[in-house]
Structure 1
Amino acid sequence: MMSEQPAAVKLIGWFGSPYAHRAEVALRLKGVSYELIMEDLSNKSDLLLKHNPVHQKVPVLLHGDRPGICESLVIVEYVDEAFDGPSILPSDPLARAAARFWASFMDTEFRESMWMALWADGEAQAAGAMETKAKLTLIEGQLTEGKRFFGGDTIGYLDIALSGIAHWIGVFEEIAGVRLLTEEEHPTLCRWAKEYTGDETVRECLPDKDRVVAALAPRKELYVSIAKALTGHK
């Protein structure tokens, strides 16, 4: 009798997406073989539109003939539960809840202030920069002294959720000409960022910074226009 073959895993992503990176790291940490399907975001495929008709964004995880799984952190949790391998989320319920809280903080409150700090101008930019640095201090406070990563000595859920700080914030700083994360103000967070980006599993799916800068720099005017719109609503 033949043994049942594991369902194929495919990930729809884009090389410069910090959200697709989250999904890739989770799959690699669990040792899951997968096919990476690179999406053309200027001409979205029928596959993407079929499996993420609501937001039409990457990443989307396809596992066998199941419906597509959308949203990066939802994918990370699914991968943690669906596949064998080292746990990504903390086992302790309180630690798990805290990790989810700070992941949400990253994707809502931090992202909004960072956007203003990078792309607004005048008083709005100054206020955004001050707020972003204060939030970086709050995030830095979650790093336990003597531990390499947020979850301990190995990469976990919160490290993945905050990976945009480790790599992509530098991309946007270069395009915008603004410095937000510095060793003088946040030495522990900068140390963590080096640990994260230097990890062997992470490096396997971490896009080259110069390539990401080249790909995103032409969008600068769009980013600025969005910041202006946000300023008008405040």
Structure 2
Amino acid sequence: MAEENKVRLHGMWVSPFVRLVKLALEIKGIEYEYVEEDLKNKSLVLLNYNPIHKKVPVLVVNGKPLVESLIILEYIDETWKNGPRFLPEDPYKRAQIRFWCSFIHKQVFETMMLVLKSDGEAQAKVSERLSTLEEEIKNIFPEGIQVIDQKNVGLLDLVIVSTFGYYKAQEEYFGLKLIDPEKTPLLFSWLSALLELPVVKESLLPHEKVVGFLKLMREAALKSTSD
């Protein structure tokens, strides 16, 4: 493992999946080089490292690339034993965590992205899936959400904060209530605790910058549907 500290992350500043990997590296205390990619003009390096999806994040460890954020996080957790373990030891609990991480990425986040191109129907689906997650939190944490600090952050915590960390900007721009303290009180409390962690606070982008980016994304999405 002598070469394991040669770590480089290829990303894009506003990507929640890149933010997920960044937080994992920082929580584990892993030194890394960050390379910002222009996804409108993808570099040959990025295309070489991720020829299938041609997306970020790409984590390069000693010259070997890894893609897909959840796969990258499991690799980080298995390779660097220092810091908190992102996945529990119990196989059943690990499987549960993997399922709900995938649910948030594939069901919740992808539906949130549909709001860029439409309103009512996509918004209703987002609310439905957040309600499903709210109910399931009771099963994931039957004893309630425990005190969260940087020493016990897990994979699901990281997915929650990277996906919903900018919910106020998303709510402001889209007029969509995402994290409602009345409708989803457990999710609201969970996210609020995570957003208070110093490592998370330090990683947050300015609110106005995120709103500006969402505006550009929506304009581009609406243009693509009308062309």
Q: What's the TM-score once normalised by structure 1's chain length?
A: 0.83
Q: 1:49 to 1:165 in 2, by over 3 A?
A: closer
Tell me what 2:41 maps to. 43
1:11 aligned counterpart, secondary structure: strand
2:29 to 8, 28, 31: 31
Asked whether the 8 Å contact 1:8–1:64 carries over to 2, the reply is yes
CA–CA distance in 1 between the matches of 2:104 and 2:186? 17
Kept after mapping to 1: 8 A contact 2:11/2:34? yes
Range with greater deviation from structure 2 (44-53 or 127-136): 127-136
**Quick check: 1:148 aligned with 2:147?**
yes
Q: What does residue 82 of structure 1 align with? A: 79
Match of 2:155 in 1: 157
Supply the AA of the counterpart residue of 1:145: G
CA distance in 2, matches of 1:111, 1:69: 22
Q: Choose the corresponding residue for 1:21, options 15, 19, 25.
A: 19
Letter in 2 for 1:134: S
Output the amino acid matched with 1:25.
Answer: L
Are 1:12 and 2:15 matched, yes or no? Answer: no
Q: Aligned-pair distance for 1:172? A: 2.4
Q: Contact conserved, 2:5 with 2:31, CA < 8 A, in 1?
A: no
Residues 216, 104 of structure 1: alpha-carbon distance in 2 compared, 3 angstrom cutoff: same
- What is the aligned length? 223
Q: TM-score, normalised by structure 2?
A: 0.85
Q: Residue 232 of structure 1 corresponds to which residue in structure 2?
A: none
Q: Among residues 69, 73, 76, which one is paired with 1:72 in the alignment?
A: 69
Instruction: Give 1:118 shift.
Output: 6.0
Identity of aligned residues (%): 33
Using the TM superposition, give the Cα deviation of residue 152 of structure 1 relative to its aligned residue in structure 2, in angstroms.
11
Classify the secondary structure of the residue corresponding to 2:166.
helix
Look up the equivalent residue of 1:211 and give its one-letter code.
K
Which secondary structure does the structure 1 equivalent of 2:81 belong to? coil
> What is the deviation of 1:174?
2.2
Distance 1:126 1:146 in 2: 27
Distance across 2 between alignment mates of 1:113 and 1:120: 10
1:80 Cα deviation from its structure 2 partner: 0.6
Relative to 1, partners in 2 of residues 1:119 and 1:137: Cα closer, same or farther, differing over 3 Å? Answer: farther
Letter in 2 for 1:75: I
1:192 aligns to what?
190
Helix, strand or coil at the partner of 2:220: helix
Match for 1:55: what amino acid?
H
Do the aligned partners of residues 13 and 194 (structure 1) sit closer, same or farther apart at CA in structure 2, a change above 3 Å counting? same
In the TM superposition, what is the alpha-carbon distance from 1:77 to its structure 2 partner?
Answer: 0.5
Asked whether the 8 Å contact 2:26–2:199 carries over to 1, the reply is: yes
Closer, same or farther: CA 44–185 of 1 in aligned 2, 3 Å: same
Instruction: Name the CA distance, whole Å, in 2 between partners of 1:127 and 1:41.
Output: 30
* RMSD of aligned Cα (Å): 2.8
Q: Which one of 211, 214, 217 corresponds to residue 216 of structure 1? A: 214
SS for the counterpart of 1:204 is: helix
- Give the structure 1 partner of residue 50 of structure 2: 52
| Gap runs ≥5 in structure 2 | none
Relative distance call for 1:118 and 1:147 in structure 2 (3 A) is farther
